[in-house]
Amino acid sequence: MTRRTGAPRIEAVEGDITAQALDAIVNAANSSLLGGGGVDGAIHAAAGPALLAECREVRRTAYPQGLPVGAAVATAAGDLPARWVIHTVGPNRHAGQTDPALLAACFTSSLAEAARIGAASVAFPAVSAGVYGWDADEVAGIAVEAVRGAAHHEGLELVRFVLFGARTYAAFTRALS
């Protein structure tokens, strides 16, 4: 099978990111990589103990101080239907991290990590929306612009935003139109 070299298809769906049978799903992680609430907690719960073990190894070897905001790192996906989980740490508006470039970096570095591991399909949540205090419309605009600007990686065929809740889904639908 010949892999695509043009721009990937970009879409938004309302649903559960842990149910996505794509090459990779992106985890809106905290810097510890050891699980948390929201999307992070749901991914860790669905993936089982293998994901936590991989994250502990990443912390021990590559990021002993934690994964920096905007960076991304991939692990195997444990019991999830995806092959990999790409962990990225979004900026926390409540902690004064209000630079849109930090949020955009979550998406661009995750796409670079997807290309590095050979993923043809990637699912993103609304990184930093919700508990990290970013408005869904602002996240959607930044995310879509970042993905459109960086989604030229060879072999990438599909970028899917998998969104929790009608309001966030509507924000991404507007940003994609």
Classified as helix, coil or strand, 50 is helix
Question: Whole-angstrom distance between the N-terminal and C-terminal Cα of the chain?
Answer: 31
pLDDT exceeds 90 at position 4: no
Angle, helices 136-150 vs 100-117, to 10°: value is 40
pLDDT exceeds 90 at position 28: yes
Does 126 reside within a domain?
yes
Does 45 reside within a domain?
yes
Give how far Cα 3 sits from Cα of 110, 153, 154, Å: 20, 11, 8
pLDDT exceeds 80 at position 14: yes
83 within 8 A of 50, measured Cβ to Cβ = no
Does 4 reside within a domain?
no
pLDDT exceeds 90 at position 5: no
Does 119 reside within a domain?
yes
Q: What does pTM read for this prediction?
A: 0.95
Does 2 reside within a domain?
no
pLDDT exceeds 60 at position 2: no
Alpha-carbon span 23 to 156, nearest angstrom: 10
97 within 8 A of 57, measured Cβ to Cβ = no
Q: Which two tokens mark 94?
A: 């409540």
Question: Which residues does the annotation mark as catalytic?
Answer: 40
Does 136 reside within a domain?
yes
Percent of the chain, pLDDT > 90?
90
Indicate the number of domains in the chain: 1
146 within 8 A of 104, measured Cβ to Cβ = yes
What's the pLDDT score for residue 130?
Answer: 86
Q: Which domain holds residue 116?
A: 9-176
The CATH number that applies at residue 137 is: 3.40.220.10
pLDDT exceeds 70 at position 7: yes
Angle, helices 38-47 vs 49-61, to 10°: value is 110
